[in-house]
């Protein structure tokens, strides 16, 4: 574990605590302030979406949360421990599925690899891989190589790999931005189904307002860069969601319009007070 204990008391249900996170990329001259000041928490078992325009610093934020990037100031606390490197209880699904799977390994080997690194015994590994591939609907193609699969199927492999690892929190960075609309809808429903079935905590980043409202229990709305939290919107839609009914309801329209307005206002220079 590359985390250290912190002394701060926090809500027992808090899994992830992001405190005054700031990230400035150093470069020639003054550098780029990608993230200005982000504070939020995620409770155990929650499905939280983060939405913000392209360039808002969403990937920067997730890389800091995942311990892949040092923040300039502020801190990230996972399960009561400050994150200073990739924590054991975390898995991440990236946007670029093409680059996240090993082309020379089969689907099964790709999913199994992090479990080997985690030193999970062989029989247990086999079971976890089989269950994860079944859960994402890919049990039949375990011997295929990633390049033999469609983009949507490759992203399912990446999701299976993350799920098999049994993370406490699953980070997803615009995972469906590169697939077609129908596949994307199916994958969104897969994320909701896995979240419900496995009880895993999910932090899902997207630039797509509709996607954030459809998926989340809560949506954290980010401004354009330098980035701050504009508002946390509770999504009071029924827990049972489906692409047709949920998206065509009046409450869905209200929520998406609200998030849209927040982001538009921020682009025109309005920022939250305080």
Residue 61's Cα: distance from chain center in Å?
11
Identity of the residue, 160 or 266, whose beta carbon is nearer to ligand ADP in the bound complex: 266
- Could you say which of Mg ion, ligand ADP, none residue 60 binds, taking C-beta under 5 to 8 angstroms by partner kind? ligand ADP
CA geometry: angle 208, 205, 177, nearest 5 deg: 50
Q: How far is CA 271 from CA 11, 16, 38, 221, 236, in A?
A: 28, 25, 13, 12, 25
If binding is defined by CB under 6 A, does position 32 make contact with ligand ADP? yes
If binding is defined by CB under 6 A, does position 225 make contact with ligand ADP? yes
If binding is defined by CB under 6 A, does position 92 make contact with ligand ADP? no
- Could you say which of Mg ion, ligand ADP, none residue 24 binds, taking C-beta under 5 to 8 angstroms by partner kind? none
The region of 10-18, 26-34, 101-109, 192-200 touching ligand ADP under the rule CB under 6 A is 26-34
DSSP-derived 3-state class of residue 200: coil
Identity of the residue, 49 or 149, whose beta carbon is nearer to Mg ion in the bound complex: 49
Q: How far is CA 153 from CA 43, 138, 150, in A?
A: 30, 8, 5
Q: How far is CA 210 from CA 238, 253, 260, in A?
A: 16, 9, 9
Report strand pairing: 73-78 vs 90-93: unpaired
If binding is defined by CB under 6 A, does position 58 make contact with ligand ADP? yes
Identity of the residue, 25 or 147, whose beta carbon is nearer to ligand ADP in the bound complex: 25
- Could you say which of ligand ADP, Mg ion, none residue 269 binds, taking C-beta under 5 to 8 angstroms by partner kind? none
Which chain residues interact with ligand ADP by CB under 6 A?
25, 27, 32, 34, 52, 54-60, 225
């Amino acid at each position: 574990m590359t985390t250290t204990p912190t002394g701060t008391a926090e809500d027992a249900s808090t899994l992830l605590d992001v405190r005054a996170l700031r990230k400035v990329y150093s470069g020639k001259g003054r550098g780029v302030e990608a993230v200005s000041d982000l504070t939020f928490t995620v409770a155990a078992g929650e499905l939280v979406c983060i939405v913000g325009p392209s360039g808002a610093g969403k990937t920067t934020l997730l890389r800091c949360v995942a311990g892949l990037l040092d923040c300039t100031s502020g801190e990230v606390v996972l399960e009561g421990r400050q994150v200073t490197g990739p924590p054991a209880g975390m898995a991440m699904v990236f946007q670029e599925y093409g680059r996240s799977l090993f082309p020379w390994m089969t689907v099964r080997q790709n999913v199994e690899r992090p479990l080997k690194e985690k030193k999970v015994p062989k029989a247990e590994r086999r079971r976890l891989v089989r269950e994860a591939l079944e859960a994402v609907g890919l049990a039949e193609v375990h011997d295929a190589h990633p390049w033999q699969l469609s983009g949507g199927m490759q992203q399912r492999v990446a999701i299976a790999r993350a799920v098999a690892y049994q993370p406490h929190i699953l980070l997803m960075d615009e995972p469906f931005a590169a697939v077609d609309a129908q596949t994307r809808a199916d994958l969104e429903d897969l994320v909701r189904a896995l979240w419900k079935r496995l009880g895993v905590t999910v932090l899902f980043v997207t630039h797509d307002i509709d996607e954030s409202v459809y998926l989340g229990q809560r949506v954290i709305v980010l401004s354009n860069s330098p980035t701050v939290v504009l508002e946390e919107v509770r999504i009071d839609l029924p827990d049972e969601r489906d692409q047709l009914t949920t998206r065509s309801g009046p409450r869905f329209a209200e929520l998406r319009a609200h998030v849209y307005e927040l982001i538009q206002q921020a682009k025109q220079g309005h920022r939250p007070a305080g």
